[in-house]
Amino acid sequence: MSGMRTLSIASAALLVAACGQSTPSTSSGAGSTSPTVEPGPAPTEEPVAISDGLIEVPGGYAYIVPRERISEYTSAGGWEVSEAQVRAVEAKLEAAVVAHATEPHHTRIRDGLAGYNRRYVGIVRGEQRLIEISGFCDSFRDWQGPVGVDDGGDCFFDAWYDPETDAITRVSINGVA
């Protein structure tokens, strides 16, 4: 992917923790010292590639489901979303989701998408190619794999984006039991 960025050890540890994986040790035993960590580049509003399929977006991370895993997410066929398409969606996503946060229990999401990770998968509905975006609050660890959530409140949302019309066509924020 283009736009790759090197993460500081601290940022990498946070990212690995957010993805629910263990972090490697930076010391080699008793008496060793930890390396000096230089701060990474300042955050940017444009998505920045971290690793294959995972990019940094404003307020969180986005996982682009790779072509070889599409069948885990949809049986109707699909395609791999590009980074440029993620940028197009991200330009509209927060406003669309916040506009749909009308229920009393939608307190967290009304403040925006900071603290929400997103998963992007290209889906086909009839003849129409859409991008399905699933949003997960940052405390939810298994957001990169297929997930079915009942309720969950505003910790979870879904949206559809039509790349042909450059529009968010559907937004759904989970309810509570």
The answer to whether position 1 is within a domain reads no
> Is there a contact between 59 and 100 (Cβ–Cβ < 8 Å)?
no
* Within a domain: 115: yes
Mean pLDDT of 94-121: 89
- Count of residues in the chain: 177
Given pLDDT bands bounded at 50, 70 and 90, which one contains residue 148? low
Whether residue 140 lies inside any domain: the answer is yes
CA distances 106 to 97, 143, 152, Å, are: 11, 20, 11
b/e 131-156 (16+ beta carbons within 10 angstroms → b) = bbbbbbbbebeebbeeeeeeebbbbb
Q: What is the pLDDT of residue 98?
A: 92
Which residues are CB-neighbours of 63 under 8 A, at least 6 positions away? 53, 54, 117, 118, 119, 120, 143, 144
Is residue 45, in this structure, part of any structural domain at all? yes
Give the model's confidence band at 144: pLDDT under 50 very low, under 70 low, under 90 confident, else very high. Answer: low
The total domain count for the chain is 1
CA 47 from centre of chain: 11
Domain extent, residue 20, equals: 9-173
Percent of the chain predicted with pLDDT > 90: 28
Residue 157 phi/psi, 5-degree rounding, is: -145, 160
So what's the pLDDT on residue 32? Answer: 38
Summarize pLDDT for 45-104 with one digit per residue, the tens. Answer: 555 555 667 888 888 888 898 888 888 877 778 999 999 999 999 999 999 999 999 988
Does 3 map to a domain? no
Distances in Å between the Cα of 152 and the Cα atoms of 90, 117, 157 are 23, 15, 9
158 part of a folded domain: yes
What's the token pair of residue 166?
């450059």
26 or 118: which carries more pLDDT confidence?
Answer: 118
Q: Is 6 a residue whose pLDDT tops 50?
A: no
Q: Residue 155 domain-assigned?
A: yes
Q: Tens digit of pLDDT for each residue in 17-55?
A: 443 433 333 333 444 343 333 444 444 455 555 566 788
Contact 113, 97 (CB under 8 A): yes
